[in-house]
């Protein structure tokens, strides 16, 4: 522990598994206080208990980020349990992949309700606390889908493009109040979502191998690698980074096809 995040009181969504859980663990190791939110109450309780057993000061609440009132209530509870929030990590998201003309209204709505509207619910609820604290940080977990397109993944890239737009807009809007708003754009990460994606193919092992071949280094990221970047992004070490996005994809989005 280097106490890089001492004094940070962080509201993290999608915190019970995958990248969100890895971020929570990395933040706890750097002495941040945490408030964890996830839809899966069972996994959330397990994650919170594991962190608390190591001495982390935290609170948690099961909530769906698409429910604005639930998020507002969770932010109020966070203030009671860990103090006034001065950092937000918008990690919760959902994959909605389809061909455009086969996308149903329900899939479209679900994609935007969680990946964009849900993130806005969290920003809107937390921003007054950041401003009253004299500044703070919002970190949106975007995706390389925010600036590249993979066929048959519609409408997910639209939502992630918009999330990046919201990152820039809020970053500029609230810079005078000392609020920084940035994003991380992971590529492929070894989470259950990626495993589920491979399993959607007739030959999952081939799909996995094909994914690895796309990358210059022949592998994909671990959740912990994304988490360590997330530590930096809310720390005071990057105090002049604002309204921008850090890409973490092993060079995938730079390399042309072979």
Residues with catalytic annotation?
156
Helix (H) or strand (E) holding 99: none
**Residue labelled with tokens 């997330």:** 230
Answer whether the bond into residue 251 is a cis peptide, omega within 30°.
Answer: no
In this structure, are residues 156 and 96 in contact, taking their beta carbons and an 8 Å threshold? yes
- Helices 105-112 and 156-173, interaxial angle, to 10°? 30
Write the DSSP symbol of residue 258: -
Residue given tokens 């990358």 in the structure block: 215
Q: What Rg do the C-alpha atoms of the chain give, in angstroms?
A: 18
Distance CA 116, CA 257 (A): 30
Kind and range of the H or E run holding 169: helix 156-173
| Residue 101 vs residues 104, 107, 118, 156, 166: alpha-carbon distances, Å | 8, 12, 25, 14, 26
Report helix, strand or coil for 73. helix
Separation CA 19–CA 228 (nearest Å): 11
């Amino acid at each position: 522990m280097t106490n890089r995040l001492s004094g940070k009181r962080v509201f993290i969504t999608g915190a019970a598994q995958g990248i969100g859980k890895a971020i929570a663990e990395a933040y706890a190791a750097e002495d941040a206080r945490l408030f964890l939110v996830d839809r899966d109450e069972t996994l959330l309780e397990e994650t919170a208990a594991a962190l608390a057993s190591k001495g982390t000061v935290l609170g948690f609440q099961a909530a769906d980020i698409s429910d604005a009132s639930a998020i507002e209530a969770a932010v109020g509870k966070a203030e009671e349990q860990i103090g006034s929030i001065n950092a937000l990590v918008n990690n919760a998201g959902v994959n909605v992949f389809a061909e455009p003309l086969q996308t149903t209204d329900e899939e479209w709505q679900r994609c935007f309700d969680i990946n964009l509207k849900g993130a806005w619910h969290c920003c809107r609820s937390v921003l007054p606390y950041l401003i009253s604290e004299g500044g703070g940080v919002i970190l949106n977990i975007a995706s390389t889908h925010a600036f590249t397109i993979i066929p048959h993944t519609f409408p997910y890239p639209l939502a992630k493009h918009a999330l990046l737009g919201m990152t820039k807009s809020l970053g500029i809007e609230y810079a005078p109040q000392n609020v920084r708003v940035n994003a991380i754009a992971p590529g492929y990460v070894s989470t259950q979502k990626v495993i589920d994606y491979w399993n959607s193919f007739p030959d999952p092992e081939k799909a996995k191998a094909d994914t690895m071949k796309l990358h210059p280094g022949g592998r994909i990221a671990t959740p912990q690698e994304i988490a360590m970047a997330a530590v930096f992004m809310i720390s005071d070490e990057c105090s002049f980074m604002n309204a921008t996005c850090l890409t973490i994809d092993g060079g995938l989005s730079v390399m042309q096809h072979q």
